[in-house]
Amino acid sequence: MSQPQSKSVARERVATLVGKCLLNFQLYEVRLKRIAPLIELSVTESDLDLRRCSTDTLGMLVKEFSAKALVLEGQDEPEEKLGLTIRHRQSFFNKDDYNKRISSLAELVRERNYLVHHFYEDYDLSNVESCNEAEKYLDRILGQTNEWLDEQKQFMASMAALMELSTQIYADPNLSCRIYEVPPSDINEWLMLNEVIALKAAEKLKASDGYTELDKAISYLQSTGIAHDAYRQIGLSSWQQLLYESGCFDILKKKDEATGRWARRYRSKPI
């Protein structure tokens, strides 16, 4: 026959569960403080203050996260800031799923506040029965906090993946320059540009003096699949401008004696 449970043992189990639940809530809050400044980044801001949320309460953090990171597709978008803004968001295409997630986060704040401020009002732990009731409640909350942490971990993993992808995009001028329709900013980026690489490859058509006719090179570029006006994709107005702006080539402007037409010729500069 089993021995009746002692109140001290029951209270110890409750204390252990309270500690586990509080640690989970604190872990959720610490993570949220880390990612909150990264959810919406604007290049118009002079500095990224990673500590700006350090004194925010869990309720404030969840409210900001819900407003900026959770989006119901089809609803009005916030007014765009001037300049480039990078946002990490989770989109919902079903209103019920969106409302469920918002409600779940509101419940997280309520349960944390209840455990910290009001738990002992309802469970005084003065007897075994009260301890058992408290244990049932805490078991449920512990399971729920684990689910909240799993959801948060998934969002953080998607943020990390997007940041890695963004890093790759901005490191490759063939992507970043076309996204923003601007030319490369330095010689290293120019040398990575597909058009410059193709112009160098077209130098197999060069004349005996080492210079290649630009018109012939442009025809060669089109045969490789590069559009005849690819320079427009990076904010330029002509192939001639691309040659000059890149700084990768020596350029000659020579008049054809037979036709009277001026033609541009180029050759790669020594690297």
CATH of the domain at 239: 3.30.420
Q: Is 105 found in the same domain as 13?
A: yes
Which residue's entry shows tokens 């403080």? 33
Give how many domains the chain has, as a whole number.
Answer: 2
Q: Clarify whether residues 57 and 129 are in a common domain.
A: yes
Q: Which residues span the domain enclosing 237?
A: 177-268
**Which one, of 98, 12, 94, 107, lies nearest residue 58 by Cα?**
107
pLDDT in tens, 20-46: 999 999 999 999 998 888 887 665 444
Domain end, chosen from 129, 155, 171, is at 171
Which of 171, 188, 203 is a domain's end point? 171
The predicted model scores a pTM of 0.65
Q: What is the pLDDT of residues 173-188, one digit of tens each?
A: 998 888 888 999 899 9
Number of helical H runs and strand E runs in the chain:
10, 7
Q: 260's torsion region: left (phi>0), alpha (psi -120 to 50) or beta? A: left
Cβ neighbors of 197 (< 8 A, separation 6 or more) are: 191
Question: For residues 183 and 236, is the Cβ–Cβ distance under 8 A?
Answer: yes
Same domain for 85 and 122?
Answer: yes
Q: Identify whether 1 is part of a domain.
A: no
In the numeric block, the tokens 């909240």 are attached to 148
Of residues 10 and 164, which shows the higher confidence score?
A: 10
Is the residue at 92 inside a domain? yes
Q: Are residues 36 and 166 in the same domain?
A: yes
Q: What does the pLDDT read at residue 46?
A: 43
Question: Last residue of some domain: 171, 202, 236?
Answer: 171
